[in-house]
Homo-oligomer: A and B are copies of this chain.
């Protein structure tokens, strides 16, 4: 056994969203230790310049590397889009973003080659998923829809409410209309089975924001209401699989039988983080420590 395998895995995000990635990592790699860093004092990264995002992500990664982690997961779409290559060249441990793994998952599962992406306005405008998917499958067609209210709904604890269900259904409806699958006044997609048989319809949807798995039930329900069957691809699940493969290949997996531990660092109020974090995980964050990052 390799001594390095006993080290923890570092995970960071601009805030609480990355907790869905952490949750997936803990399920896939239950024997590993994790250190999660939420840069809550500087959230959101989405509307910063690329240079600022690289600077912020590098400072987060440095905090974790100083804690001697064996691998880094950028559990944030914005930071993955802008800072992955910078972090890979700065730090000499494996670094994973969320965009490549989930794009690969989507390309693998899609039969029709028509892939949808939902995300924040900044993520969709950055076109990062379209580029990642084009690299993996040049013939794939990608449709994208910003859903800017999903993050505040999740962070404010409105997940299982009527307003959340209406808002989710409205955005998904707008998305289907933008693909010409529905028109104003339609309640569902017409001639769905025929389109499905001809492989002429979206069959895969990337949840391109780490907050969105928390709304998974409402998203499923909306797609179901519109009569559409798609496979939802979750950043966290895809990234956990990619990390598992890499650790196995590198003989870096922790070999103990006991469950691993998780510690939490935040750059703003630990209490607010713990309270918002409850929506994101089965076991909410505990013992959250405040740190300053300059």
Interface residue ranges of A139-190 to B (CB < 8 Å): 148-149, 152-153, 156, 158, 161-164, 166-167
**A47-B156 contact in complex given A163-B167, A166-B163, C-beta closer than 8 Å:** no
A286 within 8 A of B: no
A41 within 8 A of B: yes
**Min CB gap A165→B, angstroms:** 9
**Interface size class for chain A?**
10 to 19
Contact with B along A44-76 (1 / 0, CB 8 A): 000100000000000000000000000000000
A246 within 8 A of B: no
Question: Of B148, B158, B166, which contacts A149 at CB under 8 A?
Answer: B158
- Hey, which chain B residues are within 8 Å of A47, CB to CB? 41, 43, 268
**Min CB gap A111→B, angstroms:** 34
Q: Is the interface of A mostly helix, strand, loop or mixed?
A: loop
Q: What is the oligomeric copy number?
A: 2
- Hey, which chain B residues are within 8 Å of A156, CB to CB? 148-149
- Hey, which chain B residues are within 8 Å of A148, CB to CB? 152, 156
Across the two chains, which residue of chain B brings its CB closest to A165? B163
Tell me the bound Cα distance from A148 to B167 in angstroms. 16
Tell me the bound Cα distance from A148 to B164 in angstroms. 15
**Min CB gap A256→B, angstroms:** 40
- Besides A41-B47, A43-B47, A152-B152, 15 more A-B contacts (Cβ < 8 Å) are A47-B268, A148-B152, A148-B156, A149-B152, A149-B153, A149-B156, A149-B158, A158-B167, A161-B166, A162-B163, A162-B166, A163-B163, A163-B164, A163-B166, A163-B167
